[in-house]
Homo-oligomer: A and B are copies of this chain.
């Protein structure tokens, strides 16, 4: 076989993404598949990065944020300052997520209130409806 590289299709099957997505990620400089003639060959490194990309997406990071994180990651496994930076970005993202959730919780509570009110109205209306019969 091909040493340890994968074709675009194999990647798609393995990670459940479309070719377009992989090409898109390459265009955005998130992945750097090597070329055999015309075709892309994804290395072990690409696969590791893709996993991190997909994980990052689940966390709600934007692709741009993910790119920055991956870059830091690469630049210096030796530089603790970089890792520190990574940590900070993640912290900030966490902050955002918590805020979002809290807002959502508020909205949920508000909407629940509205619904309680709506129930009362519906009940009273169906009552008067019956009364009108």
Residue numbers in B under 8 Å from A104 (CB-CB): 60, 97, 100-101, 104
Q: Is A98 an interface residue (CB 8 A)?
A: yes
How many chain A residues have a CB neighbour from B under 8 Å?
32
0/1 interface trace, chain A 98-112, chain B, CB 8 Å (1 if under): 101100110110111
* Cβ distance A89 to chain B, nearest Cβ, rounded Å: 11
* Interface contact B118-A90, CB-CB below 8 Å: yes
A121 within 8 A of B: yes
Residue of A84, A107, A126 ringed by the most chain B CB atoms within 10 A: A107
| A114 contacts partner chain B, Cβ-Cβ < 8 Å | yes
| A residues adjacent to B (C-beta < 8 A) | 58-60, 80, 83-84, 86-87, 90-91, 93-94, 97-98, 100-101, 104-105, 107-108, 110-112, 114-115, 118-119, 121-122, 125-126, 129
Contact sample, A vs B, 21 pairs, CB 8 Å cutoff:
A58-B110, A59-B107, A59-B110, A60-B104, A60-B107, A80-B122, A80-B129, A83-B121, A83-B122, A86-B118, A87-B118, A87-B119, A87-B122, A93-B111, A94-B108, A94-B111, A94-B112, A97-B108, A97-B111, A98-B108, A101-B101
